[in-house]
Amino acid sequence: MKEIKRIGVLTSGGDSPGMNACIRAVVRTGIFNGLEVYGIKRGYNGLIHDEFIALESHSVSNIIQRGGTILKTARSMEFMEYDGRKKAYENLKRHGLDGLVVIGGNGTFTGADLFIHEFDFPIMGTPGTIDNDLYGTDMTIGYDTALNTVMEAVDKIRDTADSHNRLFFIEVMGRDAGFIALRSGIAGGAEAILIPETITYIDELIEMLETGFRKNKQSGIIIVAEGDDLGGAIEVAKKVKDKMPYFDTRVTILGHIQRGGSPSSYDRILASTLGFMAVNALLAGRRGEMVGMVNKKVVYTPFDKAIKHHKEINQEMLKMARILSS
């Protein structure tokens, strides 16, 4: 096993709160173990275009509380081509790096897996995405903070919905997964939660809303995952309005506010733990795995399983949500 002496760290894909805490953990753990640590800017683009910066312990001072990523991030089309990956490999070798920690989501680990097979280069990953759609970890870095952001927004919207007796359709992120919608809907006490994992029948939704109104509910919050089969919040609101013109409806699309903000304590601790363990994993000769936390235990999941294995949505929680909001 080749000795690890110099490692790199990068953030890739959609940013998420806690990425900086993870970068900090990778740098501090690497330095503690006598390694040199390089930051690579803008995800895989920086690997290809040689944007390497040597990081010292002080380089990551005062960032644990900051959202976003000091290394910047991107989605790299070039890395999807062999020539791009080859250039990246040549840069890694020229800088004498012998290991890499990538912080990102599905696309990040897809690229990393390909790279390892093509160039036999050690890479470990940590799940940096608000979507929580990776198999092999209960929570991804940024998910808890995003949930709190959505919950606070829902509370504010509920004030005005209640004042005007309105139905609000609130669209949340999550790409093609409903994890943000499900838990933020429960935390916000939503009257309905629409997620891609469960087919939404418009008549069923209307029946649920009318039942609530018959029980003297005078306003309501419907959380719509952006990937829902019925469409986004605008489409769903229109379908409901067409069938129930007497409802006063409004739409709020939360958008990228869900990606920012100071990470929660949970995300800071998760990010620190996974970054710390990712470096130790490289030192132990591991590669090609995402470091995650399942039932409070650190686990290692091969990249292809982390991205392809479908993470189940908790249907019992969805049933509970319907009962609690009825």
129 binds ligand F6P (CB under 6 A): yes
Name the residue nearer to ligand F6P (CB basis): 8 or 196. Answer: 196
The binding track of 23-62 with respect to ligand F6P, each residue x by CB under 6 A or -, is: ----------------------------------------
The active-site residue out of 113, 131, 133, 144 is 131
In 3-state terms, what secondary structure has residue 238? helix
Task: Give me the half-sphere count of Cα atoms (radius 13 Å) on the Cβ side of residue 186.
Answer: 16
CB under 6 A: which stretch of 28-36, 80-88, 125-133, 280-288 binds ligand F6P? 125-133
Cite the beta strand spans of 153-260 per DSSP E: 167-172, 192-194, 220-225, 249-253
The set of residues, in sequence order, having a beta carbon less than 8 Å from that of 63 and lying 6+ positions away, is 20, 21, 23, 24, 70
Contact 184, 124 (CB under 8 A): no
The question of whether 131 is a catalytic residue gets the answer yes
Contacting residue, 113, 131, 197, 289, with ligand F6P by CB under 6 A: 131
Name the residue nearer to ligand F6P (CB basis): 98 or 131. Answer: 131
174 binds ligand F6P (CB under 6 A): yes
- Residue of 170, 144, 143, 173 lying closest to 156 (CA atoms): 170
- Tokens 């067409």 belong to residue: 242
Name the residue nearer to ligand F6P (CB basis): 105 or 275. Answer: 105
End-to-end CA distance of the chain: 59
In the complex, residue closest to ligand F6P by CB: 14
Contact 204, 192 (CB under 8 A): no
Tell me how far apart the alpha carbons of residues 264 and 18 are, in angstroms, rounded to a whole number. 8
Residues 252-271 that bind ligand F6P (CB under 6 A): 259
Name the residue nearer to ligand F6P (CB basis): 131 or 191. Answer: 131
CB of 131 to ligand F6P, least distance (A): 5
Tell me the catalytic residues.
Answer: 131
Query: Which residue ranges make up the site for ligand F6P (CB under 6 A)?
Result: 14, 105, 129-131, 173-175, 226, 259
